[in-house]
Amino acid sequence: MTAFTDQAKAARVAARALALADRARKDQALNAMADALLEHTAMVLSANTADVEAAEDTGVAPSQIDRLRLTVDRVAGMAQGLRDLAGLPDPVGEVARQWTTTTGLRISQQRVPFGVVGIIYEARPNVTADAAGICLKSGNAALLRGSSSALRSNRVVVEALRAGLSASGIDPNSIQLVEGGREVTTEMMTARGLVDLLIPRGGAGLIEAVVTGSTVPVIETGTGNCHLYVDRDADLEVAARITINAKAQRPSVCNALETVLVHHDVARDYWQALAPLLAEAGVTVHGDKATLTLVPGAVPATDAEYDAEYLSLDLAARVVDDMDEAIEHIQTHSSGHSETIVTTDQAAAAEFARRIDAAAVLVNASSRFVDGGEFGFGAEIGISTQKLHARGPMGLAELTSTKYVVVGQGQTRS
């Protein structure tokens, strides 16, 4: 039996008890985890400094260093996130639906935890606390497989979280850090019967590797090649405001805008108003021929650019003849995350919403709202771009399965 198998078996035992823990017990644990994390702040920062220095020595990119780095404020934010979870309703035991059959059976479909959830993620130690907290609140034991470059930080964070669990009478094996080489990731991905669900969080390469290598069920949190279609009947002021916000407010995230498609009747006016604002925001427009004539400083877009996320202050653009052409472009290039139309024509909005196949379709709103927090879920483990189980922002309910409870009075089937 490997070290991972031992860990997973201990997690299963812990999960069985955790599934039956009531809300008060779990909330007490979340607050104790927050307290312990704050108490460990100096140790966390010291370990994190070692991780950051090692990463800098090996020439890791500054954007990745930034994600790896913790500060007093970030640790406080992680603790606050745990306390916020304590304030949310318990999804476990919620009745999704109930009815009585013609044979007199009372059936209720109730939310239950998955059991053991594995999270595979990159060098962001804040995810360690976030994911552990969301799993705990939803009654799931968490096996946390972080990046080796955040190992020192993760060890201290997990030690603190487990101290919080112990102080609250919850088996500390409900939260475990999974250490070891790549072969351990493979073990985790193929641990059918030990791990109930895997959620990869990170770049496209990580997610693809987990999805194709796993025999354990996976929820994919995917890439967002998000489009905005500016309709002939768009309010161009609204269109400009949404374009700037969706592109530039936080360009590195999956719900940021990547391509704008503009109806040719309004393209001149739209770009005339928008181009200087985009330039001011530091955005480079990559356009088709028609766009290049309308946007000073625009550069030509290659076909490949329409397929990829920039995740930067770059914006692909095309002028289209009509909504059909916009929808056709989106269906060809979309990653199925979030697609937006700006229009005052309600029939066009309804048709766009009906025809576009994506986790979220937005009408006259920035795609940056496609987020568990903005949706009001109170917590988010990621944004699913797959169709199975959960699609779009995933909150606590999406970390549960269900169970049917059927109550009869001695019925038999004829």
What is the DSSP code string of 229-283?
EE-TT--HHHHHHHHHHHHHSSTTSTTSEEEEEEEHHHHHHHHHHHHHHHHHTTP
Angle between the N-to-C axes of helices 72-86 and 41-57, in degrees from 0 to 180, rounded to the nearest 10: 120
At closest approach, how far in Å is the CB of 297 from its own copies?
A: 24
Whether residue 359 contacts residue 392, with contact meaning beta carbons closer than 8 Å, is answered with yes
Which residue from 197, 301, 319, 396 is in contact with its own copies, where contact means CB under 8 A?
Answer: 197
Binding pattern for the stretch 334-363 against its own copies, x by CB under 8 A and - elsewhere:
---------------x---xxx-xxxxxxx
In this complex, which beta carbon is closest to its own copies, that of residue 51 or of residue 339?
Answer: 339
In angstroms, what is the minimal distance from the CB of 225 to its own copies?
14
Bridge partners, 113 (sequence order): 400
Number of residues that bind its own copies (CB under 8 A): 69
Residue ranges in 228-247 that form contacts with its own copies under rule CB under 8 A: 235, 238, 241-242, 244-246
Q: Report the C-alpha gap between 342 and 38 in whole angstroms.
A: 45
Q: Please, what is the minimum distance in Å from the beta carbon of residue 312 to its own copies? A: 18
Does residue 386 bind its own copies (CB under 8 A)?
A: yes
Binding track over 113-152 against its own copies, x by CB under 8 A: -xx-------------------------------------
Residue in 124, 152, 263, 391 binding its own copies, rule: CB under 8 A: 391
| Dihedral sign from CA coordinates of 142, 147, 150, 152 | positive
Nearer Cβ to its own copies, position 77 or 378?
378
Strand order through the sheet with 299-300: 299-300, 284-287, 314-320, 257-263, 226-230, 338-342
Phi and psi angles of residue 175, each rounded to the nearest 5 degrees, phi first: -130, 115
CB of 55 closer than 8 Å to CB of 47: no
Residues that bind its own copies (CB under 8 A): 16, 19-20, 99, 101-103, 105, 107, 109, 112, 114-115, 192, 196-197, 211-212, 215, 217, 219, 235, 238, 241-242, 244-246, 249, 331, 349, 353-355, 357-366, 368-370, 374-376, 386-389, 391-392, 401-413
